[in-house]
Structure formats: C-alpha cells, structure tokens
Structure 1
C-alpha cells in the first residue's frame, strides 16, 4: 500500500512512451489518500493518469483522479449516421416533418422493417472442443483518459472522484476492458469524443452507491456506455454491468443514450436513478440496441431528447424488462415521450409510465411509441401522458402491445390509444 499525503495534489508533468502519467500497473497496488489529488499538469502533453495492465490489481481510496487527456481523433462523424444503423427514427421523423402522413411513412417500412439498418458484426472466436473461449475486446490507444483497465486487469475505485478527464475516443473518466468496481465514488465532468463520457465498459463493471453526473459524450452514453457502435473501427460489444443504488444524472450526448447506453451488452440495475439526462437523437435517460436490460425499482425521470424516447429508447432486437419502476416526466420532440420501442421486446411489470410528453410539431405517443416490436404491460399504469397528436398514451404500428387486466391506460391526452392497421393494443379504449 502507498499512503499519499493528506490534502496534497500530485501534479504529473511527464508520461511514459505509451501515454501514461504513471507506470502501467501489473501487480497488486493500493493508492490511499485523504482529499488527495493526482492530476495531469494543464500545460503538459496529453496523457492518461492510470493504466492497469493484465494481471494488475489497482485499488484507489480517498483520491481524486483529475485532468487526464488523450488525443482527439481528427476524423469527425455525425451521431445521426451512427444511430441510423440501429433505428430509422431520424429518417421517419424527417419524412413526417416534410409533410408525409405518419401512417404513410410507417407503411413504407412495412415490407422490410429493417431496411437500411445494419447489425453490428458478430465475431465468434474459435474454441477447442469442450472449452469456452470468451470474446475479449481490446482498447484503443486513446481510451480512458482518467483510468484505463485492460483485459485481465482489475480496478477498485473506492470513496474517490474521477473528474475533468477528456478522452479522444471512449471513456472520458474510466474505460474498463477488464473488471472494475466503483463504490461510494463520483465520476463527474468528464468528456469522451465518441462513447462513455463518464465510464466506458467492455468488461465486467459494477457501480454501487455512486454518482455518475454531468459527463458528456459526443456520440452516445453521456454517463455510461456499455459497448460502442462501429464507426472507424469494428464495434465493441458491451460487457456485463451491474448498477446498484447508483445515480446517473445530468449527463448529455449529441447522439443517443444521454444517461446510459447499452450496445450488445447485458445490464442489470437495482434501485438506480436516471434523472435529468439529455440526448439529442434518442433515449434521453437510456438507450439500448441489441442488448439485454433488467431494471428493478429504477427511476427514469425528467430526461429529454429532441428525437425519440425521452425516457427510454429501445431498438434492434433488444430484450428489456422494467420491474417496480417508474418512467415519468420525460420529454421527446418526436415520438415516445416515455418509451420508444423499435423491433424489440420490452416488458413492464408493477410499473408506471406517467406524465411524459411528446411535445414537438410531430409529437406522437406521449407515453409509449411502439413499431415492429412488442410491449407487455403487467400491473402497469400508463396515465397523464401528453402528445401533440393522438395518441397521448400508447401508439402501435405493426407491433403488439399486450395489456393485462390489472393494468390501466387512462387520462392521457388527446387520446389514450391508437393502433394503426398492423398494430394491436389490448384492453385499451381510445
């Protein structure tokens, strides 16, 4: 264990040839401080602060990791082009804004609902008979400006703060490709040029009783991104994430998944809050594509998007379950103030979708907007939602909304439900 001086700031001015402020950690090391800061000197060359290599086990306690910076890419990319690989919501909205009736624009997709969409490529590693070989993702040189955890590495961030770091690729504060635990800590005011303003994950990540707040990512996952879409390099499959009593608040992105984004990963959340996050394109609170999410006692509140899914945007063969959760007071500019479900299966049990709004000039489905997918409501209330055009409650096109007799769709404006031919909504009165 290395005990650092209380209340002291260690300014790093030099880096190794790999762009790390401190040597790569390849054994068990604990850095313990009390109101102690390790930071990159503002005028120094760009480098990250900490790098945990294979076999390394880093524990930090009582520290602030601050000011790491890795080089930005010179190439730019439009977030809408990336989101278009998973959902055609932008193209659909553009047609409706240009004057095409929504029903007509949707009908044009009917013959091939995945036209124009591409699945992120799957890679299956070769394995010997009887041996399971996991797919391991590897970081780019500029991932993780504050802390990078490589495959085979482990990090524990305890009662610490990761602040004001900037990645030229993914993971402004933390990029995890190994195993990382964040406990009683804060990840705040970090930035990523692509995915994961606060945290990027492609390994095993656990965030418990911690705050991920006020981070920014250009493409997706302002707070946390579990995985990354293909841009200049191959996509990065999301790993496994467990959130427990976490607070993901006030994060933002120009793309999708203001608070949280999952791409080809697996996420479980318990008693976690997704509040006041913003995404320009989709999923103000959270977004998922080709993923599995299970949320228990989650709060998705006061998030916003100029596009679709003010609270939640689910797309491209995802399977998502909300249990004893609340999607409330979220706002979308186009479709699905509370929930946008496209080509996926979303289930809500003992939950509520209330007070959400689709407020734009083509706003439809204040509570739920479902196309080519399935939404299941069990003991769930959809109420007091609003949209510019009907329905204010639940909209379905070439999809199915199953409503059990213990659920209620009521008091939405201007109407409760609308199912365009090819779509169904059970147990609902307009």
Structure 2
C-alpha cells in the first residue's frame, strides 16, 4: 500500500520581475522589501546552497520576524538554500505571510525559528504561533524543508513548524524536528501542532511530517495534541507520511500525531494513500488518546496504513493505539490497514489497541484490516485488542479483525452502543474474539 508520491515539481519559471539574491542577509531583506513595493508578481532566486543566517528581526521596532512580512505575490526559489535563525540570536520566527501575501517557496529550508507572538490573534497576549512560518494569506511550499523550529508559550502554543490560518499547500516537502510546547504552570494550557497547525484550508501532498513534538509541563492537566499535524479546519493529507511524532503530557492529556478538531462547518479531514506510523502519545499518570489519529468531527481515511503507533499512560488511561474517536466523531475508514498498534497502561486502564470508539462516535469500516494490535495493563485493566466500543455505533463491512490481544475482548470489547458486522471476520484473537459473550451479533468466541 505504498503511496504513489507524485513527481517533484520543477522549479517555478522565471517571471519578468526575477532577481538574483547574493548570499547575504541584508541583500535578501532588501530584495523582499523591494518586491513588496512593486506591483505584480516577483521571483527571487537565492544563491544555490547558501545559508542565510538571521541574527535579528527584520523590523528593529517589532523584531518578531526574521524577514520582512510578505505582503504581495512572491516566489522564492531557494535552489537548495537555507534561511535560518542562528541559535545565539534573540527569539523570532523566520517568515510571516501577511493577509495580502501570496508566497510560493521552492527548494528552500526554513530552520531555527522561535516565535514570540501569534499574528492571527494579536490581541491575545502570550499566545505563540508558527515557529518557522506563520501564514495569514496564501502559501505553497514545494520541495522545501521546515525543520528545527519552535513555538512555546506559557498560555497556548500552536504550530511549531508552520501555523496557517490562511490557505496553504505543502507539497513534496519535509516538516521535521519541530516543537510546540506549553511551559506555563497553570492548569488547562495547550500545545497543538508540533509540525503543522492549520486554522485555514490545508493540503499536504507527497510530503513527510516526521519526528516533531508537542509537549506540556507536567502535572498541569494540560493538552498536547497533533504532534505531527493539528487540523483545525478543512485538511487534506494525500500520499504522505506522518511518522515518528510524539505528544507528551505527564499528568495531562496527550493526543495523536494527526488530530482532527475542525468544526463540521469548517470542513472535513481527508487522509488518503498515506502512512501514519511509529508515532507516540505518552501521558504518565494522565490520559493518552490515539497514537496515530484522533478524530473529533468529520473524517475520511482511505487506502492508508496506520501502523506501529503507541499510546502509553503508566498509572493513567491509554486508549486507541491506531485511531481514537471523540464523542462527535464521524469516521469513514475504507480499504485501510490498522496494524501492530500498541496501548499500554501499567497500573492503569488500556483500551482499544487498534480502534477506540468510547464516547458516542460513529465509525464505519469498509474493506479494511485490523490486525495484530494489542492492549496491556499489568496490575490494571486491558480491554478490546482490536476495537473498544461504548455508547456510539460501529459498522464493519467486509473487514477482518485478527491476531489482536487484550486481557478480555481480544478482538472486540463492547461496553455499550452498537457493533454491526457485515461479511466481517473476527477470528484468531487472544484470549477471545468478542466480549461480553453474544454482545456482538455474528461474532463467536
């Protein structure tokens, strides 16, 4: 089921307003400022493989961005160049696309940013968004990297690598090693979107969102979610990889690498032809929900492999190793695999090794495989190796649940609600297939 990654696009063609930028930060700042002043589209070609090292914000009176705010239509063809904030510099993000800005960023690395404000919410002191890039307008990234950026706050932080309330496309690019963090001491803070957070329409295509982190200060009952991508508006993930991301919330709430929290009015999250694998949600003495995916609204997952994700909450509650549904979730899962995901909660409660539908969501699985998932809780409770179901409804059509493990309900554990099996096999699970006995019509053993 390897995704068919589209061929990397060629460099944008030169436009009449094309300019060559020497390997010099002052020259780059001047070129962007000049492009903003000119009418019409402009293209800047950076020096191949140059490292533009930012040591101060571009605006000395408001030094929150390393480069001038993009306010017009601009293409930056990096030709392998890097734009980075040096570690010894004061904190600032690298790049802001303003509400009137239209940026195409090609073959460029953005790194080292450390945001201090949230341009989308300037009236909320202490909120921090977009460590590397904040996009209020329109942005397209192709063959680029956004890496090792940071957004941290004592109130609320969003988008360690990219924050996009505007319209954005991330294509054939890598978003890696970014961090979003809540460092406050009050209860109820949050860190969302270690790699990307979007409050506006977002398309991620042929991209890698890998090794990002969302974390919150311990014992503050705060929320770390979307360590790879936190979708808060219409989101499409196509032919992409979401891998190795981590949400950490000791004594708080840790949620999946890929989270969908958009209201129905803002649109659906669609994931197709992708891999969501090897991610971790960890909440010692807290609540960890969803290793790979957490869905709280409308979502479609098709032709996608959700595998090897982990949920851990020693002394707490761990749920949904592969996918977890919230109370208002509607999930359509088709032609996909939920394989080898693990939920563990020593001295706690572990539920739903593959799928967790505990609060009233609606899950429909069609032509899918739920295989070799497991839940364990030494000195605790472990239920539903393949599926844990309560309150809501689950329909599995032409699907296989096999090789899954739990203390009870090795295949499916139904606390309440409805589970309907249509041409579906629930077989060879340990120590049993469905519990309580006869709770799932058509499931034996």
Measured against the shorter chain, the TM-score band is: 0.7 to 0.9
Q: Pick the aligned partner of 2:244 from 228, 250, 264.
A: 250
Give the 3-state SS of the residue equivalent to 1:256 in structure 2: strand
Matched, 1:241 2:235: yes
- Asked if structure 2 preserves the Cα contact closer than 8 Å seen for 1:138 and 1:177, the reply is no
Deviation, 1:311, is 0.7
Matched, 1:367 2:365: no
Give the 3-state SS of the residue equivalent to 1:242 in structure 2: strand
- Asked if structure 2 preserves the Cα contact closer than 8 Å seen for 1:20 and 1:47, the reply is yes
Q: Pick the aligned partner of 2:302 from 296, 299, 318.
A: 296
1:24 maps to: 69
Q: Pick the aligned partner of 1:165 from 149, 165, 172.
A: 149
Counterparts of 1:256-295 in structure 2, within 5 Å, are: 256-265=254-263, 266-280=268-282, 281-289=288-296, 291-295=297-301
Counterparts of 1:194-233 in structure 2, within 5 Å, are: 194-218=191-215, 219-226=224-231
- Which has the higher mean CA deviation after the structures are superposed, 298-307 or 356-365? 356-365
- Asked if structure 1 preserves the Cα contact closer than 8 Å seen for 2:74 and 2:102, the reply is yes
- Alignment root-mean-square deviation, CA: 1.6
Report the Cα distance in structure 1 between the residues aligned to 2:441 and 2:198, rounded to whole angstroms: 39
- Asked if structure 2 preserves the Cα contact closer than 8 Å seen for 1:256 and 1:284, the reply is no
Report the Cα distance in structure 2 between the residues aligned to 1:413 and 1:275, rounded to whole angstroms: 24
Report the Cα distance in structure 2 between the residues aligned to 1:26 and 1:72, rounded to whole angstroms: 18
Matched, 1:146 2:132: yes
- Asked if structure 2 preserves the Cα contact closer than 8 Å seen for 1:256 and 1:287, the reply is no
- Asked if structure 1 preserves the Cα contact closer than 8 Å seen for 2:409 and 2:436, the reply is no
Mind listing any 5+ residue stretches in structure 1 that lack a counterpart?
74-136, 227-237
Deviation, 1:24, is 1.1
1:179 maps to: 167
Q: Number of residues paired by the alignment?
A: 349
Counterparts of 1:86-105 in structure 2, within 5 Å, are: none
- Asked if structure 1 preserves the Cα contact closer than 8 Å seen for 2:168 and 2:201, the reply is yes
- Per-residue displacement from partner, 1:112-136 (whole Å, max 9, x unpaired)? xxxxxxxxxxxxxxxxxxxxxxxxx
- Per-residue displacement from partner, 1:242-283 (whole Å, max 9, x unpaired)? 011010000010243332011134200110110000002110
Deviation, 1:48, is 0.5
TM-score of the superposed pair, with normalisation by structure 2 = 0.76
2:139 maps to: 155
Q: Pick the aligned partner of 2:112 from 58, 61, 67.
A: 67
Q: Pick the aligned partner of 2:180 from 189, 192, 200.
A: 192
Counterparts of 1:117-132 in structure 2, within 5 Å, are: none
Q: Which has the higher contact order (CA 8 A, sep 6+)?
A: 1
Matched, 1:381 2:400: yes
Report the Cα distance in structure 2 between the residues aligned to 1:66 and 1:305, rounded to whole angstroms: 29
Report the Cα distance in structure 2 between the residues aligned to 1:327 and 1:36, rounded to whole angstroms: 39
